[in-house]
Structure 1
Amino acid sequence: MSAHAIQVTPSAYSYPLLIGQLLHSALANAAEQEIVYVDGRRHSYAQFARRVHQLAHALTRLGVQPGDTVAVMDWDSHRYLECFFAVPMLGAVLQTVNVRLSDEQIQYTLNHAGARVLLVNSDFVEPVARFALDTVQTRVLLADEAMALPAGYAGEYEALLADCPEQFEFTEFDENTRATTFYTTGTTGLPKGVYFSHRQLVLHTLAVCNALALAPQQGSFHRGDVYMPLTPMFHVHAWGMPYIATMAGVKQVYPGRYIPERILKLVQRERVSFSHCVPTILSMVLNHPSAGETDLRGWKLIIGGSALTTALVKQALERGIDLFTGYGMSETCPILTLAQIDPADSELDGEAQIALRVKTGRSVPLVALRTVDPEMQTLPRDGHSAGEIVVRAPWLTQGYLHNADASEELWHGGWLHTQDIGHVDPRGYLQVTDRLKDVIKTGGEWVSSLELEELIGRHPDVAEVAVIGVPDAKWGERPLAFVVARSGIEPDADSIRSFLRGFADAGRISRYGVPDEVRFVGELPRTSVGKLNKRALREHNR
């Protein structure tokens, strides 16, 4: 012990930062607040807490011990939220399974994580039956409607809970105990497992809640909000927001599977005011026929996963939606930055405000963020000196599960390497300009694929766009644009190229940045969480 350490009274309580501690204020201040599921089921926070205790009993009866991994395959539901708490509160590890991966990849992640108990939504019973699972000993059915229990299942979730007492004696343990694990959805190689401790999840909850609450108006989250996730709960804990919403004691709405018409009905019926999603989900919602009949004013939305475009911000603002960027990655738990607007900037004209909303954002509390050159030297915060973004924060994954080499590469030099390229301006706004593997070098100049996508996306005929670099004998690489035209529009490649040349003439982009070819497609390939899959585009065009 350090000679300067504080003196600890023997009877003093040390208060370990455990996930269960997030429930104290919610139960004290909002015990009757609602948690709503899409099928109309409603639980108060007091009932939610009792169900967490019942789930702990049920899992213990099924043989779950501290350190065991409990995997969940479900859509966004009240059940998932109960697992977010009960499983780690037992000292076990919650594996949130990405149900949008291929069957082969899901099987791999379950075996790699060593899952012992598997909770399975009825939608996935059939594929799970085909899996060769090495460690799973027990399966539990999650069903919205009554159905026969499949062979080999220990029971149905609600029936198991109903048979258990409403009080469980949770014991305390080291706050650095692993609480969760899930697998990254990268576009190369096998999925990589990341993991987070109780301490990390509690600190992420506190810091991001602090950042959202510090906003006096735009981009704020407060006790009067109604929260609904539109980023899957299997993906980075739904960006950590269910923990924040629960700690704050706000009304929560869980939509099950993401169906645009259902989302719109829930927003209207439950008066949802705060969500988060990737751009694709929001575009699907705003372009659904029912959107025109739904009052979306006052809905606050964090956009992440892919770059937020000017066109999408304009479309959202016209509907009264407060849209702004959040940034992070699976390895960062995930939130690192938020593009909130200061009160002094609220008087800016529309274009200037939009320019702030599409920025990658400013660091939330406790995040140390730098842009660096290849020698890890910090670049100036001048708004144009671009380098790799490296970060430190108390909630970053400490490595990849069972993968020491990749872990060392991730943490080379003592900073977590995002593999994103960006620059920081004097006010602290980060702007990601590309991924290391996606930047295009043509004619001896670097061209940002993200910037080209942003500019092409402003064309009135363009619904979606992706830009990749393709080999070129003369120039090394040339940008190739894939465009999804707006419904009812006859696409015109020359019009889009002429539109881009206007930005080149104005000095916004290099003349080398104007693609020689614009290719129209019906849809763009996506990863399992809705991100553009540029690897698939590159492989298709080899």
Structure 2
Amino acid sequence: MGLRFADPAAEAYRYPLLIRHLLQSALDTRSGNAIVGSDGRRLGYVDLERRIGRLACVLSASGVRPGDTVAVMDWDSHRYLEAYFAVPMMGAVLQTVNVRLSPEQIAYTVEDGGARILLCHADFAPIAAELRKRLPQIERVLSMHDGDPAPDSGDGDYETLLADGEDLYPFEDFDENAIATTFHTTGTTGLPKAVAFSHRQIVLHTLAVAMTLLGQPDGERLTRSDVYMPLTPMFHVHAWGMPYIATLLGLKQVYPGRYIPDRLLMLRDRESVTFSHGVPTLVQMLIGALGDRTLDADWKIIAGGSAFPVTLRDAARERGIRAYAGYGMSETAPVISVARRNEDDAGDAAALSCLAGKPVPLVQVRIVDDSLHDAAEGELVVRAPWLTMNYGTDHGASDGLWRGGWLHTQDVARFSARGDIVIRDRLKDVIKTGGEWVCSTQMEELVLRHPYVAMASFVGVPDPRWGERPVAFVVPRGEPPTIEDIHVFLAAFVADGQISRYALPDRLILVDELPRTSVGKIDKKALRGMVGAA
């Protein structure tokens, strides 16, 4: 007979994987670190626990019950952190609203999410007022601010309600598979799509990513002495899950409110911030704000959301920003992999820092062709215990997302010789010309090396002879380059076989800035529209 275990003891604790246990870990280790609020207040972890309990009581008094949705419209704040915990800990669903969408899209996402209560920063009060007029489902709007209370505080002022409260919500255990959060991911076509994540998924993602960051090499590793400040909007995929990790580890946390470059640098200096994350555009913005100044201590930043050029990585290093790449998407909660270099790595360390890198623990990855057969280069598909299961009621899109039992990223990728994930391009952004595929991200990386190019993007436009042809958009640095300058510069890369001659752009369009999506990525749909206008 095989080994047999008796039934669990009558009082054995089953320990569901719930978000409240992430907070409890910080409390049990008695973290003495501070949480610096967007309004300048300083909270200890015990203060954070008390405010979370009071917020849950306020929401309960407003009629929120398990399964109900509470929406938040705010900048990156201590209030957002409190909602990250209080709402799901009471069994309700936290909806993080993308405040950079149009008012029509915001209304669609709030209605689709079924939110009954809205926590709203005073900056968005006009939008909230319109939402109440057109969405009868919204029963209460609680106003938030970083200074004096707004003249119109809706159905109550957040800080006043928390200050008046005395009782703490009696949080209890429930099914770890209960939905904890929801938000809408935006693409270049169609309506925003709803994704959702359970307590179990968020806890597992937190543990796996924390393990990865704690194991990074010196100069990139997250440690318990680091000071964390998010530079990814907290409405976007749980700010990449980092506030949960920072809280689990009991780190000092700094919440900057709205992203204003000089304020970010002031907070970095005043609070000794050492660890952040954001899109490459934000890294570029920080470099610009620093000017000729170099930081007196390294600032570790994970760059993700779009390709991270080596030229940008090098420019950041010159200013004291040690940036390296991470990879993921809204549907993956989001982290799938992180760039990782080893002490004995041969080759270009800078290039290794800019790759999508190695999968984090519990992530399986494949590169496949259209028939889901393994391929040297093709679409990256993934499995992990924290991937969204569907796009809400959009069954067609959900089936496409999970075709063949693997989540389809829509990214063209390959593996490097040492096993790193190398993202080549988005499937929709690959330029198919003359029977060859031209990688737009590779062309952007090469053109960015030109001394008169500050930013660049490539798109394919229809061509009757070649199918598509590349068009380059460039933000010049100094004297604007010509198309001939770009061709001459790229000729060396054609000669050594890095790119095909078909990759040379037919047109060069100079712009003052590149259009961005609501999460800071280059909007290539808008660029394609600009080609015709130009």
TM-score by length of 1: 0.95
Q: Return the alpha-carbon distance in structure 2 between the equivalents of residues 335 and 354 of structure 1.
A: 21
Q: More displaced, 211-220 or 173-182?
A: 211-220
Q: Return the alpha-carbon distance in structure 2 between the equivalents of residues 149 and 227 of structure 1.
A: 33
Deviation at 1:497, TM superposition (A): 1.8
* 1:519 matched residue in structure 2: 509
Q: Do the aligned partners of 2:378 and 2:414 also contact (CA within 8 Å) in 1?
A: yes
* 2:369 matched residue in structure 1: 373
Deviation string, structure 1 residues 430-449 (Cα, Å, up to 9, x no partner): 00101111111111111111
Q: Do the aligned partners of 1:264 and 1:294 also contact (CA within 8 Å) in 2?
A: no
* 2:138 matched residue in structure 1: 136
- 1:362 and 2:362 aligned: no
Deviation at 1:294, TM superposition (A): 5.4
* 1:469 matched residue in structure 2: 460
Structure-2 change in CA distance of 1:291 and 1:541 (3 Å) = closer
* 1:540 matched residue in structure 2: 530
* 1:207 matched residue in structure 2: 208
* 2:439 matched residue in structure 1: 448
Q: Do the aligned partners of 2:473 and 2:509 also contact (CA within 8 Å) in 1?
A: yes
Structure-2 change in CA distance of 1:148 and 1:354 (3 Å) = closer
Structure-2 change in CA distance of 1:241 and 1:505 (3 Å) = same
* 1:17 matched residue in structure 2: 17
Deviation string, structure 1 residues 440-467 (Cα, Å, up to 9, x no partner): 1111111111111111111111111110
5 Å-filtered alignment, 1:123-522, equals 123-131=123-131, 132-150=134-152, 153-288=154-289, 290-293=290-293, 295=295, 297-345=297-345, 352-379=348-375, 385-486=376-477, 488-522=478-512
The aligned amino acid for 1:154 is: D
Other structure's SS at 1:326 match: strand
The aligned amino acid for 1:355 is: A
The count of residues paired between Structure 1 and Structure 2 equals 528
Deviation string, structure 1 residues 297-347 (Cα, Å, up to 9, x no partner): 3111100011000110110111232211000000000000000211213xx
The aligned amino acid for 2:526 is: A
Q: Do the aligned partners of 1:239 and 1:334 also contact (CA within 8 Å) in 2?
A: yes
Deviation at 1:378, TM superposition (A): 1.7
5 Å-filtered alignment, 1:54-73, equals 54-73=54-73
Q: Return the alpha-carbon distance in structure 2 between the equivalents of residues 19 and 278 of structure 1.
A: 26
Q: More displaced, 140-149 or 221-230?
A: 140-149
Other structure's SS at 2:128 match: helix
Deviation at 1:57, TM superposition (A): 0.7
The aligned amino acid for 1:139 is: V
* 1:382 matched residue in structure 2: none
Q: Do the aligned partners of 2:294 and 2:320 also contact (CA within 8 Å) in 1?
A: no
Q: Do the aligned partners of 1:32 and 1:46 also contact (CA within 8 Å) in 2?
A: no
Q: Return the alpha-carbon distance in structure 1 between the equivalents of residues 458 and 327 of structure 2.
A: 21
Structure-2 change in CA distance of 1:6 and 1:113 (3 Å) = farther
The aligned amino acid for 1:400 is: Y
Structure-2 change in CA distance of 1:326 and 1:296 (3 Å) = farther
* 1:44 matched residue in structure 2: 44
Q: Return the alpha-carbon distance in structure 1 between the equivalents of residues 450 and 113 of structure 2.
A: 45
Q: What RMSD, in angstroms, separates the aligned Cα atoms of the two structures?
A: 1.6
Q: Return the alpha-carbon distance in structure 1 between the equivalents of residues 524 and 5 of structure 2.
A: 51
Deviation at 1:291, TM superposition (A): 4.3
Deviation at 1:129, TM superposition (A): 1.5
Deviation string, structure 1 residues 122-157 (Cα, Å, up to 9, x no partner): 000012222322411110000112234527x22000
The aligned amino acid for 1:517 is: R
Q: Return the alpha-carbon distance in structure 2 between the equivalents of residues 120 and 245 of structure 1.
A: 24
Structure 2 regions of 5+ residues with no counterpart?
A: none
The aligned amino acid for 2:384 is: A
Q: Return the alpha-carbon distance in structure 2 between the equivalents of residues 395 and 528 of structure 1.
A: 24
Deviation string, structure 1 residues 151-192 (Cα, Å, up to 9, x no partner): 7x2200001111212532111110000000001021111000
Runs of 4 or more, structure 1, over 4 Å off, are 3-6
1:531 paired residue among 495, 505, 521: 521
Structure-2 change in CA distance of 1:449 and 1:490 (3 Å) = closer
Other structure's SS at 1:147 match: coil
Deviation at 1:371, TM superposition (A): 0.4
Deviation string, structure 1 residues 93-149 (Cα, Å, up to 9, x no partner): 000000000000000000011100001100000122223224111100001122345
Q: Return the alpha-carbon distance in structure 2 between the equivalents of residues 209 and 527 of structure 1.
A: 28
Deviation at 1:39, TM superposition (A): 3.3
Deviation string, structure 1 residues 13-49 (Cα, Å, up to 9, x no partner): 0000000000122112244310012432111111011
Deviation string, structure 1 residues 238-293 (Cα, Å, up to 9, x no partner): 000000000000100011001111111111111111000001111111112x4434
Q: Return the alpha-carbon distance in structure 2 between the equivalents of residues 17 and 273 of structure 1.
A: 29
Other structure's SS at 2:292 match: helix
Deviation at 1:9, TM superposition (A): 2.4
Structure-2 change in CA distance of 1:387 and 1:4 (3 Å) = farther
The aligned amino acid for 2:248 is: M
Q: Return the alpha-carbon distance in structure 2 between the equivalents of residues 515 and 4 of structure 1.
A: 69
5 Å-filtered alignment, 1:64-83, equals 64-83=64-83
The aligned amino acid for 2:352 is: L
Q: Return the alpha-carbon distance in structure 2 between the equivalents of residues 247 and 50 of structure 1.
A: 16
TM-score by length of 2: 0.96
